[in-house]
């Protein structure tokens, strides 16, 4: 098995200093969980049970929270709420340098992008069941921006970017595990 050359290893030593080690068991659970989430989010109903239910609560809470600042901001509040909550969790674990937890939070943030893309793609068709007063956020948002006719294209770009981001986050976790596995005898 090839080892990372000492010169290259030294470059990453300061980057990983202070970060918690990702165990093989945690990594396997995160990878399997992410693959399940991707399968749920990209097939059939495109809804991840429990996770998207929680995300919906953050979405709905975002409308009045951001609406405090401006009535015009209310329509953006749902999507912002959906992104701010996992971003704060990511920031918390990043600040504490907790590798696996920060990785899971990043995956949660990116999974929200898949859900937002699903909602965005529905802006013209308006076939998704809505919570609340029945107004479609992304119809209003894209209409304001003069981009309503591009709803499915923008949604596809967002969802594709989020899938790539999730795969990149997994690759970073695998790399972090690989760099530190010898330290704990983890194979």
Q: Which residue has the tokens 């970073």?
A: 172
Give me the chain's average pLDDT, please: 89
Q: pLDDT per residue over 54-105, tens digit each? A: 999 999 999 999 999 999 999 999 999 999 999 999 999 999 999 999 999 9
Q: Half-sphere exposure of residue 18, counting CA atoms within 13 Å on the CB side?
A: 7
Confidence label for 16 from pLDDT (cuts 50, 70 and 90): low
Where helices occur in the chain by DSSP H, the ranges are: 6-16, 24-42, 51-67, 74-95, 99-121, 137-145, 151-184
Q: Is the pLDDT of residue 1 over 50?
A: no
């Amino acid at each position: 098995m090839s080892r990372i050359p000492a010169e290259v290893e030294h470059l990453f030593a300061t980057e990983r200093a202070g970060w918690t080690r990702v165990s093989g068991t945690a990594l396997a659970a995160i990878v399997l969980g992410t693959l399940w989430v991707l399968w749920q989010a990209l097939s059939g109903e495109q809804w991840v049970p429990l996770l998207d239910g929680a995300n919906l609560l953050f979405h709905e809470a975002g409308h009045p929270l951001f609406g405090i600042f401006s009535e015009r901001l209310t329509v953006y509040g749902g999507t912002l709420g959906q992104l701010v909550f996992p971003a704060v969790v990511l920031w918390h674990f990043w600040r504490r340098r907790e590798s696996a937890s920060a990785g899971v939070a990043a995956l949660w943030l990116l999974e929200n992008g898949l859900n937002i893309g699903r909602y965005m793609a529905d802006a013209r068709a308006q076939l998704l069941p809505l919570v609340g007063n029945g107004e479609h956020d992304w119809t209003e948002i894209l209409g304001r921006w003069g981009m309503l006719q591009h709803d499915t294209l923008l949604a596809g770009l967002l969802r594709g970017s989020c899938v790539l981001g999730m795969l990149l986050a997994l690759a970073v976790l695998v790399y972090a595990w690989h760099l530190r596995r010898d330290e704990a005898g983890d194979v």
